[in-house]
């Protein structure tokens, strides 16, 4: 009996890429047809262009293509993860719909899975995107691992693109994560994992959906899930600064008593110290806010997405 491959993608305003994506995935899966069958699950994440109509046309021509249309845009974190949980394959492959991640690597992923690995991830060794962004991402991963005190080693330049065994998907379903950091979860679960190096392609059509906010959102999700170091730094700095403030107060009091008429009441030192301590407080209040937001998201336990329509299921 043939094994089933589930290829999952999430699309938002990808009318120029979606057909080519389907063609390349079909070509890759056709080379494996002797031992594998496949399904391609595409989630439309509230597209405002012609993406939905294109998906309807593609699904009408090819029953391998299954479509989930969301009621709105649920974001780049929840929607792809939800699609993976809706799959029924023995193997689930997550791939972006912008063609920056080559579908031809599906064949390489399958070969590694056949060797016994439960998770096979694509790891960017180079990128044809903006070089400055690649450098920023590299330093972000290094900073994340520097502050990581969770005991889980997080992989650099892995975005979730890769293969996941059915056993891994079933475990993810049992976790009930309302706002998951997938690349961290798969490392935390501890299944046999291997990375395959690849060069990330440059987006040829359409506009990237990775804004400063989405990248910041992902970065903070990683920090709040896998590091308590910022909170510890806030506590230690608060303690040290309180001691410094007390010592300065005692120093000025003694100095004023000894040199009552020689020490002018300076406005500058007061303003500098006030602004300094207020800025430190606001910075660490912001850090506390990020952790509180992560806790609130978990407590609310809202659904990953709300579906509007399913096609070919």
Does residue 257 sit within a domain?
Answer: yes
pLDDT the model gives residue 4:
95
Measure the CA–CA gap between 27 and 106, rounded to whole angstroms.
10
pLDDT the model gives residue 261:
67
Does residue 218 sit within a domain?
Answer: no
pLDDT the model gives residue 221:
78
Does residue 126 sit within a domain?
Answer: yes
- Phi, psi of 248, rounded to the nearest 5 degrees: -65, -40
Measure the CA–CA gap between 101 and 122, rounded to whole angstroms.
9
Same domain, 158 and 31: yes
Same domain, 292 and 245: yes
Same domain, 26 and 126: yes
Same domain, 171 and 290: no
Same domain, 128 and 246: no
Task: Name the stretches of the chain with pLDDT < 50.
Answer: none
pLDDT the model gives residue 279:
66
Under DSSP, the state recorded for 16 is: T
The candidate with the shortest Cα–Cα distance to 116, out of 62, 191, 169, is 191
Same domain, 136 and 252: no
pLDDT the model gives residue 53:
94
Does residue 216 sit within a domain?
Answer: no
Domain count within the chain: 2
The verdict on pTM exceeding 0.85 is: no
Helix, strand, or coil here: 94?
strand
Other CB atoms within 10 Å distance of the CB of residue 28:
22
pLDDT the model gives residue 301:
73
Same domain, 194 and 262: no
Does residue 196 sit within a domain?
Answer: yes
The candidate with the shortest Cα–Cα distance to 120, out of 109, 131, 111, is 109
Residue given tokens 């399913």 in the structure block: 310
Same domain, 183 and 276: no
Measure the CA–CA gap between 280 and 237, rounded to whole angstroms.
9
- Residue 6 burial (10 A CB sphere; 0-12, 13-18, 19+): buried
CATH code, domain with 82: 3.90.550.10
Does residue 84 sit within a domain?
Answer: yes
Does residue 208 sit within a domain?
Answer: no
State the distance between the two ends of the chain, measured CA to CA, in whole angstroms. Answer: 21
pLDDT the model gives residue 85:
93
Residue 245, domain extent: 229-300
Same domain, 28 and 150: yes
Does residue 210 sit within a domain?
Answer: no
Write out pLDDT tens, residues 239-287: 676 677 667 767 776 776 777 666 666 655 665 667 667 767 767 777 7
Sheet holding 36-44, edge to edge: 193-200, 119-127, 158-165, 91-94, 3-11, 36-44, 65-70, 307-311
Same domain, 104 and 177: yes
Same domain, 267 and 139: no
Same domain, 43 and 172: yes
C-alpha radius of gyration, the chain, whole number: 25
């Amino acid at each position: 009996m043939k094994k089933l491959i589930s290829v999952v993608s999430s699309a938002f305003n990808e009318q120029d890429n979606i057909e080519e994506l389907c063609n390349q995935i079909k070509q890759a899966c056709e080379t494996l047809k002797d031992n594998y069958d496949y399904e391609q699950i595409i989630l439309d994440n509230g597209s405002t262009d012609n993406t939905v109509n294109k998906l309807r046309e593609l699904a009408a021509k090819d029953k391998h293509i299954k479509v989930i249309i969301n009621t709105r845009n649920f974001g780049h974190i929840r929607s792809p993860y939800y699609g993976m949980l809706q799959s029924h394959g023995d193997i689930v492959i997550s791939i972006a719909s912008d063609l920056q991640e080559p579908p031809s690597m599906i064949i390489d992923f399958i070969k590694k899975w056949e060797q016994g690995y439960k998770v096979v991830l694509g790891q960017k060794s180079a990128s044809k995107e903006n070089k400055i962004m690649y450098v920023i991402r590299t330093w972000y991963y290094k900073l994340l691992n520097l502050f990581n005190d969770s005991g889980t080693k997080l992989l650099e330049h892995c975005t979730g693109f890769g293969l996941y065994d059915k056993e891994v998907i079933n475990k993810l379903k049992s976790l009930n994560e309302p706002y998951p950091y997938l690349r961290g979860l798969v490392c935390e679960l501890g299944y046999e994992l291997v990375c395959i190096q690849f060069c990330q392609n440059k987006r040829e059509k359409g506009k990237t959906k990775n804004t400063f906010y989405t990248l910041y959102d992902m970065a903070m999700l990683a920090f709040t899930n896998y590091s308590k170091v910022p909170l510890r730094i806030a506590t230690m700095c608060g303690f040290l600064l309180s001691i410094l403030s007390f010592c300065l107060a005692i120093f000025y009091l003694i100095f004023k008593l000894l040199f009552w008429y020689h020490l002018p009441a300076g406005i500058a030192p007061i303003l500098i110290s006030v602004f300094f301590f207020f800025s430190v407080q606001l910075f660490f209040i912001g850090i506390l806010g990020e952790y509180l937001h992560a806790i609130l998201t978990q407590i609310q336990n809202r659904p990953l997405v709300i579906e509007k329509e399913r096609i070919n299921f």
